[in-house]
Amino acid sequence: MLQIHFVVLLAIFPWLGIFVTAQNVSSQAYTPVAAPCPAGFNLVRMAGAPGSQSLSTSEASYVSTRKTNVLPQAWKTYLSNVLSTNASLPAYVATILSGNSSEIPTLGIATSGGGYRAAIFGAGVLNALDGRNSSSASAGIGGLLQSATYLSGLSGGSWLLTSLAQANFPTIQELAFGPATPTVSNNSWGGWNTDYDIATPSDNPATDMEYYTNLVEELRGKYNAGYVVTFADFWARALARHFTNGTFPSNFFDESYTHGAGILWSGVANTTSFMSYSIPFPIVVADLQAPDQNSSEIIVGDEIPLTNPIMEFNVFEMGTFDPQLSAFTPTKYLGTTNNSICVTNYDQSSLVAGSSSELFNTYNLTNTFNSSFGPILSLMADLLPEPKVEYDVASWPNPFYGVAPATFIDSAQTNLNLVDGGEDGEVIPLQPLLVKARGVDVIFAIDATSDINNFTDGSSLIATQNRTSLYSSAYSFPPVPTSLGEFTAQNLTTSPTFFGCNTTSSNVSTPLLIYLANGGPPHDGEAPVTNTSTAQLSYASSVVQEMLSQTFVIATQGYPDDGATKDPDWPSCLACAIVDRARERAGEARSGICSTCMNRYCWNGSTLTTATSGGAHRIGISYSFGLVVASAVGAIMLM
């Protein structure tokens, strides 16, 4: 079977071999480098047991310097934006936000998976929270992005987050569309290039086939150096044309450019926005697919058990705070497995995003080569043969080999299999923000999961509630409904909803959750444009602009009264929620408009349901990326 595919491919593309020299610049820049470790190198940092976990010194230092040097002014700017809407707030809101209280909020923003739809919706919300956009500032919610301490992303949300961080924190317009006057080079930002389909960038199957061959050849250096390459590396090289520096419409297919190869996730620490502490600390989430995993802990319709550790990639470290491992390795030295030979250049930004959005394992392994992305796997198997390698996961040498053997499910594995961060059902990357050592007290959760008709219906929050109940020593999470039906019946996804409002001194360390979902069109009667399929891998720029504009309306409308299209008090109500935990710690009673707001926006704990929706929720990612690839390749093979 496989041979027939190769023969067909090679018969149609007898010139395959001529591409081999062309990819050297990308191939070299993508190749890990091994060298003796620096003195005092430590492969693994144990982060401690729940209750006494510690952050890396680098993260602790970043966060504390940001809190001292950047956030005081950022909160003041945000406050002045809120006040510009003629808000009449209780005095404690201004006292806290102007730094006149001993308490200050620690805000985390989480942006969900869901392919390009989620990247665009998440970008639209970040834009509405971005104080640099004057419309956002005058809408009274701009400035929160600058005031956040953490920003997490997963799958489509990792495309948004990695591109934003590595491009040096441009505005969202510049992120999506590139600069007005771009500098075409290996190392400058060109925009998301959404017009080019991630899987089939050209209209011409022969051009796409040459493109696929180039992507595979770009892995040759890594392969020749003895590292496992999988479909995730191929996927990473495709994603790199959209979410790392170096690709523009004018050079999309030009192999003399590196197209983001060599841009490292650890390298974000060298951007000027990071060095000036101007960007929230970025964290990407991926799931671990463990050979010995307990499938009884898999939510129906998902792939990864809730009991597997959730892995995070921050700029300094990769690992998990989940108690079964609670260990980290330096991101810059990913690929390293001992304290003497240190590998660098493995932590490609595109491979981090590619791991976070690696959903190709959702095909049953035994059928992988028959799957719709099988033809690409055949191409890889032909050009870079690797007997016995599992192709459909991201493969990272396991720095935690032998660590925590009693509790860590992959302690005896030489490689970690990383897959899409939404495959356990948690499509919003909340777990890193629930780590108590991070002290996050308010989370702005952006949810563009596809549950029903390409819209969100709350499945991700239910999964997080279930998971945190399994790890109650490590995490606390506010109560949310237990079924999708309750979200629908109570309109919790069509307007912003606050969870965890019943604050007492005993639960003050549970974060308050501000939930903004892509759950329906705006209240002003616009036809919906943000409910596109996860499998849609290209968008006309004009459509992206429409989606960003509609998302701006969704993020700024609040929860209007019947008949109205906008709640004029939304900026005030959001500010009340932002300061609420700090207020509680400061011993102030909720008062004034903040009391009214909490009645209006907080979930009341009711279990009102309509007919149950059958429970068939889906992960926020789709299995269909490969189908797109297959249709192009299939077309070639029919020729």
Best CA proximity match to 571, nearest among 81, 74, 106, 121: 81
The H or E element containing residue 16 is none
Best CA proximity match to 425, nearest among 466, 455, 392: 466
d(CA 191, CA 360): 26
Q: Closest distance between ligand NAG and the C-beta of residue 124, in Å?
A: 6
Contact 566, 147 (CB under 8 A): no
Q: Closest distance between ligand NAG and the C-beta of residue 95, in Å?
A: 5
**229 counts as binding ligand NAG under rule CB under 6 A:** no
**Backbone phi and psi for residue 427, each to the nearest 5 degrees, phi listed first:** -95, -15
Is 619 strand, coil or helix?
A: coil
Which of 42, 86, 339, 509 forms a contact with ligand NAG (CB under 6 A)?
A: 86
**25 counts as binding ligand NAG under rule CB under 6 A:** yes
Q: Closest distance between ligand NAG and the C-beta of residue 525, in Å?
A: 12
Nearer to ligand NAG, 298 or 440 (CB): 298
Which of positions 93-112 make contact with ligand NAG (CB under 6 A)? 94-95, 98, 100
Which of 6, 10, 19, 24 forms a contact with ligand NAG (CB under 6 A)?
A: 24
Q: Which of the ranges 261-269, 374-382, 586-594, 626-634 carries the binding residues for ligand NAG, by CB under 6 A?
A: 261-269
Which of positions 462-491 make contact with ligand NAG (CB under 6 A)? 462-463, 466, 479, 490-491
DSSP per-residue letters across 443-507: EEEEE---SBTTB--SHHHHHHHHHHHHTTTT-------SSHHHHHHTTTTTS-EEE-----TTT
Which of positions 41-80 make contact with ligand NAG (CB under 6 A)? none
Which of 65, 68, 88, 364 forms a contact with ligand NAG (CB under 6 A)?
A: 364
d(CA 530, CA 375): 32
Tell me the sheet residues that pair with 327: 46, 320
Which of positions 447-466 make contact with ligand NAG (CB under 6 A)? 453-454, 459, 462-463, 466
CB contact burial 274-311 (16+ within 10 A = b; e otherwise): beebbbbbbbbbbbbbbeebeeebbbeebbbbbbbbbb
Q: Dihedral of the CA atoms 584, 586, 592, 595 (nearest 10)? A: 0
Which of 54, 80, 188, 541 forms a contact with ligand NAG (CB under 6 A)?
A: 188
Nearer to ligand NAG, 326 or 494 (CB): 494
d(CA 421, CA 20): 34
**173 counts as binding ligand NAG under rule CB under 6 A:** yes
Which of 147, 149, 245, 372 forms a contact with ligand NAG (CB under 6 A)?
A: 245
**497 counts as binding ligand NAG under rule CB under 6 A:** no
**264 counts as binding ligand NAG under rule CB under 6 A:** yes
Helix/strand number for the chain, H first, E second? 22, 14
Provide the 10 A C-beta neighbour count for residue 361. 25
Which of 27, 293, 355, 468 forms a contact with ligand NAG (CB under 6 A)?
A: 27
Q: Which residues bind ligand NAG (CB under 6 A)?
A: 20-21, 24-25, 27-28, 31, 85-86, 94-95, 98, 100, 127, 133, 135, 166-168, 171, 173, 185-189, 220-221, 245, 256-258, 263-264, 266-267, 270-271, 299, 364, 366, 425, 453-454, 459, 462-463, 466, 479, 490-491, 502, 531-533, 536, 548-549, 552, 603-605
